[in-house]
Each structure stands twice: as C-alpha cells, then as structure tokens.
Chain A
Amino acid sequence: MTTAGEVAVIAWRSIRRTLRQPANAIVLVFPLMLMAVNSNGLKAATHLPGFPTDSFLSFFLPFTFIQGALFAASTAGTELGRDIDTGFLNRLALTPLRGSALLAGQLGGALAQTLIQALVYLGVGLAFGVRFAAGVPGMATLVLLALCIGAGFASAGIWMALRTGSGEAVQSQFPVLFFLLFISSMNLPRNLIEVHWFRVAATLNPVSYMIEGMRSLVIEGWNGEALALGFGLSIAFVLVAMTASTFALRKRMART
C-alpha cells in the first residue's frame, strides 16, 4: 500500500473514533461558553483608550479557535497515548504501516475536529454580529490558519503521547500548553498590558502571534505582517513537533 493510502486508513480510523465519542462534544461547547462569558464580562475593556475595536466579541473570537485547537490536540494525544497503553500500537507495528503514515494519519482526527469547531465558532461569531474586516476570503483564511494552528498543537500532543506512552499522562501535561494560551495577548492587545514581565512574556510567546494573525482578519483586514507571523509560526510549530514525534516514534515503535 502507498504511504498516502496508509495515511488515509489511519486518518479514517482517527476521524471515526473522534466523532463517535460524545465527550468530544463538550470540547465544542466549552470554548463557546468561555467566549460568551468573556466577551460580555470583558466588554468594559473596549472603553480603554487605544482598544482597537468596540466589539469585545470580535476581539476575543480568534482565541476561541485556538482553544478549540488545543482541545483537539489533547484528544489526538490522549488517543495515541491510549493506543500505546493498550498495545494497539504494537498491533499496528506488526503490519507494513510506515511510521510517517502513522503520524500523518493521527493528525486526521485532530484536523477533522478542528475544522468542525472552526466552522461552528465562525457561525456563532457571525450570528452574534461579528463582521470580518477581511470579508469572506478573510473567513476562509481564518479557518485555514486555525487548521495550521490545530496541526501544530496536535503534533505536540502526539509527541507527548509518544514520549509518555499513556493517555492519562498526556492529559495531565496539557495544562502546560494551556499556560501558553494564558500568557498571551488573548484578553488585551499587547500594547495595553500594563505589567511589564507579562507584556514581555506575551511578546515572546508564539501563541500571541497566532491569535493576532487571526484577529487581524476580523478587526483590521489584510495585515501581511500579522498573517505572515501567524502562519509562519504555526507551520514552524508543526515542523518542530512532527520532527520530535518522528524521533519519539522510532524509540517507541522499536520494531526491527
């Protein structure tokens, strides 16, 4: 079987079992809850001088995509961790399946989940009055960027699973990635963050640029620099995480 065929088979399995788990619906709902709460609870922030928009929902919407991507990544990592735990990876190792196809296929479920989430969040945002400065092409670009970011986080989740060999361990390590979300420009633009160390941390945090790339499509229009940074960093994230996962898979699936 060709590599593409193998990727398709593994992706089919990954997508099927992701969509069959009722608990995954929660990860669709939770970011929406947070969006509802924060976009209203932080509305007062739009009265701050220099705040770039008068709609906090428009400002906050991109964060919802990132959060959804993180949940999808947690799912991907946890599922692979369980495969290792239960011996299913050994079953796959006994077939002609290539390691690269396994990794690429595992991303399938995460990307399917990310895509569904992205479309739902987009729909909800539009229904509650968000207007895209970059128009319909901007919406498509936003979804594409969300998928790139989702692939990055999912690759990180896969790497964690291969390193730890346990679904539970992956779940317990995911707060670290959540921390990256928190120390970013998720709630305020970086130039309005008062606390110096926090502003520096947010400036150094690649997640800030991913959020800002998406945000630019909503509230600014076409900002080449923001988009370049957003796409560039998320693609770099995918490459780094997938490379690390490749090495980790060689150790984990030590077949001769």
Chain B
Amino acid sequence: MAAAHGIEAQSLVRVFKNVRAVQGIDLTVAPGEIYGFLGPNGAGKSTTVHMLTTLLPPTSGTASVAGFDVVKDGPKVRAAIGAALQEAALDPWLTGREHVRLQSALHGIRGREQAERADELLTRVGLTHAADRKVQTYSGGMKRRLDLALALVHRPTILFLDEPTTGLDPQSRSALWMEVARLAREDGVTVFLTTQYLEEADVLANRVGIIDHGRIVAEGTPDALKAQIGRPTVEAAPSQAAELGALAAVLERFGEQTEAAPGAVAVRLDGNGDLADVVRALDAEGLRVENLQLHAPSLDDVFLAKTGHRLEGDEQVEA
C-alpha cells in the first residue's frame, strides 16, 4: 500500500555549536521510491536522517514526512515512519522476540496481534531459529535484521535506513538488499537509505542524492548521474611492450586518450564505436593484448567530478 506522501525538505540546516553539519538540504522523495543518500563519513547524512525522523530539531528550514511537518507534528511523523539507525540499538539481555514484543507494545499492538506480528516479522527476516535467544548471542548480520524487523513492527509507510549494511559480510548485505527491494516493490514502502557504499546505492536506489560537507552536490538516477560524467573508458595493455605505440594509435580512433595504468593505454569512447569495434580493430591490426577492460563511470567518478575527492568509504571497501 503506497503512501500518499513521501519526504520533502527545503533549506534544511542544522548547526551544532559552531559546526554547520547540514548546510541547506533540499530534497523530495516520492512515495514508494527508494532514495539513496550517499556521502562520506561526516558529510551530514545521519544528521539529516535525525532531523527527518524528528530526533533532532532543525536549526532552520522545513521538512515534511508522510505529509506531516517534522517540527510541528512530531508524533504523527513517528507514527508513520520506521527507522533502523546507524547503531543497531538493541538490548543484549533481551531476546529477539522480546524486542519485537516491546516495540509492538509501545506502538499499541497487544494480545494475539502482538504475538502474530512477532512471528511474522521474525520469519520474514530469517530469525525464527534465534528468536528466543538473547541478542548478545547474535552475529552482526542477525542484529541488523532484527533492527529492520523492529522498524517494521507498526507497518510504517516510510522507512529510514541509516547505513544498514556497514560492517556486514557480503551474504548478509545481499539478504538485506533483497528485503529492502521487496518492501518497496511489494509493500510500496518509501525508503530513505543512507550509505557510504556506492554499490548499495547503485543496486537499490531509484534515485541518489550525493551529499558532501552538508550540501547535496548531485541528485538523479544512478544512470543519469553517471551519464553526466561521461562515456565509458577502454583500457588495454599490449602483450609486447614494444607495441604500445601501435596500440595507442588504434585506440585513438575511438576516442581521446585518458589516464591509464603503467604500460597500458586508455581512451574515453566518443561514440565512434563500442568495445566490440575496438576488439575488431585490434584484431585487424594483428595486435595482441594482454589485458582489455571497459570502465563505465561509477558513482565514485560522479563524486570525484562534483567534489574533487573520492568517497572515503568506497576506498575502505575496495582496500
């Protein structure tokens, strides 16, 4: 069931003492959309989320979530949203089931409905087998899944996920992505997802907003953002180093030379041919290549183009 309203923010600012953590955010998230909020550590992602989830009043600017003003209608906003924030925020001494029951009770869900809801959510996030174990025995992935279940207890129409897969292994991350995609696709839940992982934004988000130093520096679908940066790059290394010049001459027919690894040549394709054409041309010249790669622009390239530096988190992941 898609909501009638999504998320809107106009000139949202948050100042902490003399630090302007958020310097004027304007964004709109349509109902049922997955919006990826991408940026490095300290960019202002979590602060923005805290304001939109009513945990922090904005210094200035306005925002509405599910049609309610975040400052004037805090309780109504909270009734409409679920949030899995940066910390898993679980009590190590309670079991998974007890957590769901606590959350349900606080949202006014009682009796048999409470028990049924607990079973349903724990099954959905794959925690049935561990439901009656204390959370201190859970792995990181299990804690994140429980966190998601707790955010969904009261069937919110808008879900805030603040770096939900940080620290998870690839399998757990993948499972969480599938669940988030399913929530948006089948249940029409609007998802506001903050992340420092490019792949996550690329895979999940319908639209991405890139934030740096408290401002949105780029916004759009992942494909549109990448297309802004440019066309793909082809990079090749010859089997014999002496043929480097000849290789460069062939590749330059297809675009302008650009930065390449040592001993290799790279060109940005200018539309005069694609990878298949490049391969045919090299073959026609009798040039053998040891290595041939096609680099499509990434969101990191978008970030680099817009801010002059790369995303830290992405560097950490790739390292």
Contact = CB atoms under 8 A, between A and B. Distances in A.
A and B touch in their complex, CB below 8 angstroms: yes
Interface of A: 1, 5-6, 9, 13, 16-17, 20-21, 83, 86-88, 90-97, 254-256
Interface residues of B, number: 34
Contacts, number: 75
Nearest to A101: B106
Interface in B182-223: none
B55 A254 contact: yes
B87 A94 contact: no
B105 A9 contact: yes
Contact of A87 (B54, B71, B89): B89
Interface in B103-161: 103, 105-108, 134, 150
16 contacts: A1-B106, A6-B106, A13-B91, A17-B91, A17-B93, A20-B134, A86-B88, A87-B87, A90-B55, A90-B85, A90-B89, A91-B103, A94-B53, A95-B107, A256-B54, A256-B70
B269 to A, nearest CB: 47
Contacts of A90: 55, 85, 89
Interface string B78-113: 110111011111110110001000110111100000
B192 to A, nearest CB: 14
Contacts of B87: 86-87
B91 A95 contact: no
Contacts of B255: none
B74 A255 contact: yes
A94 B90 contact: no
Contacts of B107: 95-96
Contact of B98 (A5, A16, A91, A256): A16
B57 A254 contact: yes
B90 A17 contact: no
Contacts of A16: 93-94, 98
B81 A94 contact: yes
Given A13-B98, A83-B91, A96-B79, 20 more contacts: A1-B108, A9-B102, A9-B105, A9-B106, A13-B91, A13-B94, A21-B93, A87-B85, A90-B55, A90-B85, A90-B89, A94-B54, A94-B78, A95-B106, A96-B78, A96-B107, A96-B108, A255-B55, A256-B54, A256-B72
A88 B87 CA distance: 9
A88 B150 CA distance: 12
Nearest to A95: B106
Contact of A17 (B53, B54, B94): B94
B140 to A, nearest CB: 14
Contacts of B71: 256
Contacts of A254: 55-57
B86 A97 contact: no
A92 to B, nearest CB: 7
B210 to A, nearest CB: 25
A97 B57 CA distance: 18
